[in-house]
Structure 1
Amino acid sequence: MKPIITSLLETDAYKFSMGQAIYHQFSDYKTTWSFKCRNQGVTFTPEMVEEIRTQIQHYCSLRFTEDELAYLNNITWIKGSYIDFLRLWQPRYEDFEISNEGPCGLNIETRGTWLNTSMYEIATLAIVNEVYFRMAYDYEDLFESFKNRLQAKIEKLEKGEYVAGAFSEFGLRRRLSAEAQDLAVAALKAADFGAGDSKFVGTSNVYLAKKHGVTPVGTMAHEWIMCVGQGNHKHNPAYSNWYALDAWVKEYGVLNGTALTDCITTDCFLKDFQLTFATLFSGVRHDSGDPIAWGEKMIAHYESLGIDPQTKTLLFSDSLNLEKASAIYRHFKGRVRVAFGIGTYFANDTKVDALNIVMKTTSCNGMDVAKISDVEGKGMCKNPDYIHYLERCIEWRMKNDNGNNSLHV
């Protein structure tokens, strides 16, 4: 199989925004990441596992080119010191453990500095996806169904049957293939949405953003809150969001600011998202739970702080399709800025089910870390005792912290 990842730019934009802040503030942090396939009945054959190894070895041979670094250097919030670091950076195959163990026949773990392991996640997932779909199915048949479905979606957007507001393509980690995602970004850019309420903004894939001249989109992921908030042994994990938001503001000020709300539940997040942070961050991202209920909660929170919700953006990114996006957009239109990050639906919608695979941080600095989320099934942690501890910390805080302390000034 030809190389799947051919450029170190081929990762989600938030890996660079988090990576710069990690480089400047947490360069000594060490993390472990674990792969998980949530699909029932999916099996990776030994041949697939061997191909995945080969592809990751090739990925680890890549380096940033000067042209790629010049592109990154033109992004407003990226600093020259981080560009100099990337000029020297390379993935380390020694950080990977890949075997055919586990319930799905594939086990992947990465261990090392957070600076390194954070960068491996997206490339690994893209490789696993493409290897699986090329080896388990008639790929050309799948690709044909993908093209037909993509064209049908774009036609409905152009006709106004679907309304997606400002939307971006977020499909890299679960795409059918590099070819499929490239086609999707090109087709969405070329589409004519007229003067309607749909506007294609860009893609999370920085390589494709550069190639097609669209905006690279993305700010932070759950790993940021998990590691910054829970990786320091001295921190109370129920205050994870405060530590994460504070470190982000130190790095970026008012730039690059869309906060992720659901790592340890949105209700706990709102304890820390008080006037200063709510003013500095341009918006918030939804990734679990009922999107309408979440959006109403965020609007009420902004209003309680005296902030006009129409000056803020609600970015929805949880398992979206155009029907869901249209319903959300119409519900909130005129009350708040609405944006969407649409992933699998644009990058891997075929006649067969997409894989639901993730790689998540499972330890930081030798400590367990966890994502709880707003719904069951999206969390991940290897130690049930730590989940119990974290939930007790959150429960105590929600009952006893009235918000009148120095962390909220």
Structure 2
Amino acid sequence: MIFDSRSGKIKTKITGSKWFERKEDIKQMRLPQIINSLLETDMYKFSMGQTIFHQFTSYKTTWTFKCRNKDVHFTDEMVEEIKEQVQAFCQLRFTEEELEYLDNITWIKGTYVDFLRLWQPRYEEFTITTDAPCGLAIDAAGTWLNTSMYEIPVLAIVNEVYFRMAYDYDVLLKQFKRRLDEKVRLLEEDTYRLSDFSEFGLRRRLSAEAQEMAVKAIAEVELPADSHFIGTSNVYLAKKFNLKPVGTMAHEWIMCTGQGNHKHNPAYSNWYALDAWVKEYGILNGIALTDTITTDCFLRDFQLTYATLFSGVRHDSGDPYEWGDKMIAHYNSLGINPRTKTLLFSDSLDFERATALYDYFKDKAKVAFGIGTFISNDTDEEALNIVMKTTKCNGMDVAKISDVAGKGMCKNPDYVDYLNRCIDYRMKNDK
């Protein structure tokens, strides 16, 4: 992608093709382009994307942005910049070098890589307005195959636009560097015990610059025996720094596979999700997310076959100690040694909380951590708590219930009531 100073247009090249002009005028974009590669997304978008491509190509979804911060407001200027940045993102294409990188990942299949060679984001599928209490409303609607790929880059754009335009970015970056240097010093001094940990902060990072700085710094630290930096969920940075791209499934996977088919009882969402995953990957990519419609309901479907095939489970809401003890008890009830399974914690972690969890569970199971905002957006200012979730699939409402109040999301309270009643009925009657 280049800027043609004579025409004032962005020109983009599709591999093996000619340059073409983007219609929008770059002069309207006030900030540097935020997303510069289609690899700049979380790894689970490719693991889910491949399975969507092979099994759910006809599914259509609607995604909705939500800002959970009560005191945050996006100005009209911010919203216009977000529009411009999303338009620039929609001009990107995968390069052959990027496709070759994906093709060399063990579980990615050539058919999916060929699809990605043709794939492009579509700005026509976005609706971005100021019609929301926080001043920013974003919806995206289209095939699940397309719209799933929008979530992470859009959130990264929103986050960086906000912090660059609402604050003095240079001051924030200095704060970020100071805190990052302190993290690195404490890591080197063996203050923390982080087991296998990864960086998960793309969607809420301060900026692309800050996230790259943090990943590079931590990757270069000589860590003590009880801490191992595995990699990052940001596929672009994993490629750049020769790290492992980390990620398996997100809540959308369980929501859409389990609630998007009108014939399914949504209380069995986890079974449909686990079944489709095993059909695609067998024993690969084996970390299951438990809390989409509550962990207690998940465990009804996570019986001997799936508990054996999946290498572990991921925590994303509720008390992590109660959750971990519950998972260990479940493995024991099935005759599975929990020490052979991974408990991956990823909910609002910092190094201190992760160390405490490691100390508690280290002799009971394998322990791993996905640490996001604490690594990628740690400044003197409060980070944004923003999400973009599926709210419809195939014309039906879908919902995330979660294990704690406040993390669920659905536009239709009647559907949430229906889903809860389905779950309650199953829990009482399906032993």
- Give TM-score, length-normalised by structure 2: 0.93
Alignment-derived partner of residue 28 in structure 2: none
Q: Report deviation, 1:387.
A: 0.4
Alignment-derived partner of residue 331 in structure 1: 360
Alignment-derived partner of residue 215 in structure 1: 244
Alignment-derived partner of residue 317 in structure 1: 346
- Whole-Å separation in 2 of the counterparts to 1:156 and 1:150: 10
Alignment-derived partner of residue 405 in structure 1: none
* Counterpart selection for 2:311 from 282, 299, 303: 282
Counting matched residue pairs gives 401
1:270 maps onto 2:309 in alignment: no
- Whole-Å separation in 1 of the counterparts to 2:189 and 2:90: 44
Alignment-derived partner of residue 135 in structure 1: 165
* Counterpart selection for 1:253 from 259, 282, 303: 282
- Whole-Å separation in 1 of the counterparts to 2:167 and 2:236: 27
Q: Report deviation, 1:228.
A: 0.2
Show structure 1 runs of 5+ residues with no match.
403-409
- Whole-Å separation in 2 of the counterparts to 1:53 and 1:246: 38
Q: Report deviation, 1:150.
A: 1.1
- Whole-Å separation in 1 of the counterparts to 2:131 and 2:240: 38
Amino acid at match of 1:144: K
Q: Report deviation, 1:192.
A: 1.0
Q: Report deviation, 1:276.
A: 0.2
Amino acid at match of 1:5: I
Q: Report deviation, 1:101.
A: 1.2
Q: Report deviation, 1:334.
A: 1.8
Amino acid at match of 2:147: T
Alignment-derived partner of residue 228 in structure 1: 257
1:96 maps onto 2:143 in alignment: no
- Whole-Å separation in 1 of the counterparts to 2:162 and 2:136: 11
Q: Report deviation, 1:322.
A: 0.8
* Counterpart selection for 2:78 from 48, 56, 65: 48
Alignment-derived partner of residue 381 in structure 1: 410
- Whole-Å separation in 1 of the counterparts to 2:284 and 2:71: 44
1:8 maps onto 2:38 in alignment: yes
Alignment-derived partner of residue 74 in structure 1: 104
Partner SS for 1:162:
coil
Q: Report deviation, 1:156.
A: 1.2
Amino acid at match of 1:192: E
Amino acid at match of 1:6: N
Q: Report deviation, 1:270.
A: 0.2
1:164 maps onto 2:194 in alignment: yes
Alignment-derived partner of residue 331 in structure 2: 302
Q: Report deviation, 1:162.
A: 1.3
Structure 1 consecutive aligned stretches of length 4 or more whose deviation exceeds 3 Å: none
1:198 maps onto 2:216 in alignment: no
Alignment-derived partner of residue 421 in structure 2: 392
- Whole-Å separation in 2 of the counterparts to 1:368 and 1:182: 37
- Whole-Å separation in 1 of the counterparts to 2:237 and 2:247: 14
Alignment-derived partner of residue 406 in structure 1: none
Q: Report deviation, 1:394.
A: 0.3
Q: Report deviation, 1:135.
A: 0.4
Q: Report deviation, 1:235.
A: 0.2
Amino acid at match of 2:275: D
Alignment-derived partner of residue 385 in structure 2: 356
Amino acid at match of 1:342: I
- What is the root-mean-square deviation in Å for CA atoms of aligned residues? 0.5
- Whole-Å separation in 1 of the counterparts to 2:85 and 2:174: 24
Partner SS for 2:355:
helix
1:340 maps onto 2:369 in alignment: yes
Partner SS for 2:87:
helix
Q: Report deviation, 1:153.
A: 1.3
Partner SS for 1:233:
coil
Q: How do 1:237-248 and structure 2 match up within 5 A?
A: 237-248=266-277
- Whole-Å separation in 1 of the counterparts to 2:168 and 2:238: 29
Partner SS for 1:335:
coil
1:105 maps onto 2:148 in alignment: no
- 1:297-348 alpha-carbon deviations (Å, 9 max, x no partner): 0001001101111110000000001111010000011210000000000000
Q: Report deviation, 1:138.
A: 0.4
1:61 maps onto 2:124 in alignment: no
Amino acid at match of 2:406: G
Amino acid at match of 2:115: F
Q: Report deviation, 1:40.
A: 1.0
- Whole-Å separation in 2 of the counterparts to 1:400 and 1:121: 37
- Whole-Å separation in 2 of the counterparts to 1:376 and 1:153: 31
- Whole-Å separation in 2 of the counterparts to 1:37 and 1:335: 37
Q: Report deviation, 1:163.
A: 1.1
Partner SS for 1:119:
coil
Q: Report deviation, 1:182.
A: 0.3
- Whole-Å separation in 2 of the counterparts to 1:221 and 1:289: 16
Alignment-derived partner of residue 394 in structure 2: 365
Alignment-derived partner of residue 117 in structure 2: 87
- Whole-Å separation in 2 of the counterparts to 1:291 and 1:273: 18
Alignment-derived partner of residue 217 in structure 2: 187
Amino acid at match of 2:203: R
- 1:349-375 alpha-carbon deviations (Å, 9 max, x no partner): 101000000000000000000000000
Q: Report deviation, 1:93.
A: 0.3
1:19 maps onto 2:49 in alignment: yes
- 1:201-244 alpha-carbon deviations (Å, 9 max, x no partner): 00000000000000000000000000000000000000000000
- Whole-Å separation in 2 of the counterparts to 1:54 and 1:310: 49
- Whole-Å separation in 1 of the counterparts to 2:128 and 2:231: 33
